Amino acid sequence: MSAVSSRTDSDHRMEYCGRAYLCRMFSKAFGYALRAAVYVAIHGKDGKKVSLQEASDALGVPHHFLGKIMQDLVKHGIFDSIKGPNGGFYANSGTPQMFLIDILKITDGNLVFDQCALGIRRCNAAHPCPLHHDFANCRDGMIQALTVKTVGILAEDVESGMSFLAR
Amino acid sequence: MSAVSSRTDSDHRMEYCGRAYLCRMFSKAFGYALRAAVYVAIHGKDGKKVSLQEASDALGVPHHFLGKIMQDLVKHGIFDSIKGPNGGFYANSGTPQMFLIDILKITDGNLVFDQCALGIRRCNAAHPCPLHHDFANCRDGMIQALTVKTVGILAEDVESGMSFLAR
DNA sequence: ATAAATAAAGATTTAAAACTCTTTTTATTG
DNA sequence: CAATAAAAAGAGTTTTAAATCTTTATTTAT
């Protein structure tokens, strides 16, 4: 029997993986958090504020889940908020300078940086799994991007139409 | 308030992410499957067979979960098996030539290849999220490695002591 | 002072991945 | 042919991430 059988790939996957697209590098919370930060950097400046409703509508992400995440971002100073009528979320002077990796640490913690792609606990450069170096290269490239890019840089990209936060 | 608060990183993470290390690029099943395939390629040849017990002990992986996975690998022809006393799993002539990406498709399906790192559904090169190109580079490098490397190549690495399947 | 609008907080639920347990089937050996 | 050893199959449980719901606190405006 060849590596390709008559059953579909998804059939097989379902046996121990209900939905494949959850096998991602970062949590969903990180994606929501980053998009929210960039959205606030763009729309929550010059005295304007972004309500949770506006943000979750514009980004197409779950209202209450985003609420939790934005609350946490405020706690970490990524941007600010104020309660009450005409309240909402808004950028502070540091918002555009925040590095993406700061947001990653808030949502996903530090363990992201030294996991083994094959799930071997004590895998490291000196005692590597067979994919350690390939995966380290891949991840380090991504981490590098997250380390040099800021919320402000992404906001500029989005404002100039080079990239998009939704749809 | 700065981006670094007095609470620990893990405190924050726990609020919507019980354990950060599950935010991985591939499923655990893939790691187990790949390690099992390489183990069988090494120890299940020249008439020798590998029992599920031996494999789960040697790899330090859950017995029954590995059973499911190996069963699926057999179904896809990655290696063979035989039931009964002195039965077990063993390499076939194609085992060393199997590409790692074949195993990835079995365990994680095809959706792994076009997810957006930020969770935007319609993200692609023409309508990219702000991290699309960085993530595409990162992932493509990894996919490239999985596309050119075979079970046999990893088996040689492990047999020569260059890399390890457990601990 | 009251009402309304909003974020914050916390409790709960849902969905998926990860893992376990039980039963069945197949092969071997005495 | 009976007993046994092994994989195959399937049902069930647990854990985690994701999402939702409910209540509280804060601010503003009337």
The per-residue pLDDT for range A62-107, each reduced to its tens digit, is 999 999 999 999 999 999 999 999 999 999 999 999 999 999 999 9
Asked if B155 contacts A155 with a C-beta cutoff of 8 angstroms, the reply is no
Residue B126 domain flag: no
User: Is residue A99 included in any domain, yes or no?
Assistant: yes
Asked if A145 contacts B131 with a C-beta cutoff of 8 angstroms, the reply is yes
Burial class from Cβ neighbours inside 10 Å (0-12, 13-18, 19+) for residue B20 reads buried
pTM of the complete model: 0.88
B161 interfaces chain A, CB cutoff of 8 Å: no
pLDDT at A72: 97
Give the per-residue pLDDT at A23: 58
| Å between CA of A10 and C1' of D12 | 22
Determine, yes or no, domain membership for B2. Answer: no
Contacts of A145 in chain B (CB under 8 A): 131, 134, 138
Host domain of residue A52: 26-159
Whether A85 maps to a domain, the answer reads yes
Question: Which pLDDT band, with edges at 50, 70 and 90, does B131 fall under?
Answer: very high
Are B31 and A123 in contact (CB < 8 Å)?
no
Number of domains in chain B: 1
Considering only CA atoms, which residue is closest to the C1' of nucleotide C7? Answer: A83
Q: Out of B10, B23, B142, whose CB is closest to A27?
A: B23
**pLDDT value, residue B112:** 78
In a domain, A129, yes or no: yes
Check whether B58 has a pLDDT greater than 90: yes
- Nearest CB to B164; choose among A65, A128, A149: A128
B84 part of a folded domain? yes
| CATH assignment at residue B91 | 1.10.10.10
Residue A18 lies in a domain: no
For strand C, give the nucleotides within 7 A of a protein CB.
4-11, 15-22, 25-29
Domain membership flag for residue A83: yes
